[in-house]
């Protein structure tokens, strides 16, 4: 698939990756550096999500995945979890209509079982309302962990083998990939992590096998179109060989 060429806002056009995934890190440190409560950092982080979705659509990116809440985040203080769940509820209730109007399709990956019923209903509502939209796919990784995702796929394979529907010798990479949370979506071409940390933190471990990783020092609440464009510019300088000797220019 060839990558669309878009304007960077100046006189130079550049190509963008088809799928960009973002580990949104640094809300708490952003707030601490300003003497503000962590809740304010999370609130400003939601504003950064809005900016990024808008910029992604303008740049011609077709899929953007955001790591909104990890399976490990439940270990945070109860007050912070309550604040994060409140932000999620408000984001869906306040922004879903605008996303739908902008032809954005919302997809959710992560474990649904055990969530508060109202959260589960909101996630389902977001997916159902926007199911037929085509401009941009927004993938929200919520209650998500890559190891947990792979374990769910392995469990499904084990059940198929036990029932006689699948032979062990027939299990392939495609078998596993087809049982992940969003098997129809392409793997991310580019994964961006903010705040200067340089690790994946249990995010899209299977799908990131050949992704380009760009780590930026910017805390997530300060992330904007210029930061996104700079990360894409770095991505364009990489030679993507996918294990071969010749670089591939398309994604």
Q: Which of 3-12, 16-25, 218-227 has the lowest mean pLDDT?
A: 3-12
What mean pLDDT comes out for the span 228-249?
80
Active-site amino acid positions:
25, 73
Which one of 3.40.50.800, 2.40.280.10, 3.40.1180.10, 3.40.1350.10 gives the CATH number of domain 5-144+186-237? 3.40.1180.10
pLDDT tens profile 26-48:
999 999 999 999 999 999 999 99
Give the pLDDT score at 47: 95
Is 90 exceeded by the pLDDT of residue 8?
Answer: no
Give the pLDDT score at 75: 84
Give the pLDDT score at 77: 84
Give the pLDDT score at 115: 87
Confidence of residue 239 (pLDDT cuts 50, 70, 90): confident
CB 175 within 8 A of CB 157: yes
Give the pLDDT score at 247: 60
Distance (Å, whole) CA 142 – CA 109: 6
Give the pLDDT score at 251: 46
Interacting residues of 186 by C-beta distance below 8 A, sequence separation 6+: 1, 18, 19, 63, 251
Distance (Å, whole) CA 210 – CA 212: 7
Mean pLDDT, the chain, whole residue set:
90
- % of the chain surpassing 70 pLDDT: 90
**Element (H or E) spanning 5, and its range?**
strand 5-7
Give the pLDDT score at 249: 56
Interacting residues of 158 by C-beta distance below 8 A, sequence separation 6+: none
Give the pLDDT score at 70: 87
What residue segments make up the domains of the chain, in order of their start?
5-144+186-237
Q: To which residue do tokens 């952003």 refer? A: 30
What mean pLDDT comes out for the span 77-102?
88
Beta bridge partners of 141: 67, 109
Is 70 exceeded by the pLDDT of residue 49?
Answer: yes
């Amino acid at each position: 698939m060839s990558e669309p060429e878009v304007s960077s806002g100046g006189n130079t056009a550049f190509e963008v990756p088809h799928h960009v995934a973002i580990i949104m890190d640094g809300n708490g440190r952003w707030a601490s550096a300003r003497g503000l409560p962590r809740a304010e950092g999370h609130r400003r982080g939601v504003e950064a999500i809005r900016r990024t979705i808008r910029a992604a659509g303008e740049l011609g990116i077709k899929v953007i995945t955001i790591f909104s809440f990890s399976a490990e985040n439940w270990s945070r203080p109860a007050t912070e979890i309550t604040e994060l769940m409140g932000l999620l509820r408000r984001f869906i209730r306040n922004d879903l209509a605008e996303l739908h109007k902008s032809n954005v399709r919302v997809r959710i990956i992560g474990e649904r079982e055990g969530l508060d019923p109202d959260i589960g209903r909101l996630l389902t509502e977001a997916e159902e309302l926007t199911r037929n939209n085509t401009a941009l796919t927004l993938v929200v990784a919520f209650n998500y962990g890559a190891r947990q995702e792979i374990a769910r796929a392995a469990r499904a394979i084990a059940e198929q083998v036990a029932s006689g529907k699948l032979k062990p010798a027939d299990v392939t990479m495609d078998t596993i990939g087809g049982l992940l949370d969003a098997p129809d979506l392409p793997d991310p071409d580019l994964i961006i992590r903010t705040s200067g940390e340089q690790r994946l933190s249990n995010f899209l471990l299977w799908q990131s096998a050949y992704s380009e990783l760009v780590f930026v020092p910017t805390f997530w609440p300060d992330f904007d179109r210029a930061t996104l464009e700079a990360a894409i510019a770095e991505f364009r300088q990489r030679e993507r060989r996918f294990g071969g000797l010749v670089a591939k220019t398309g994604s």
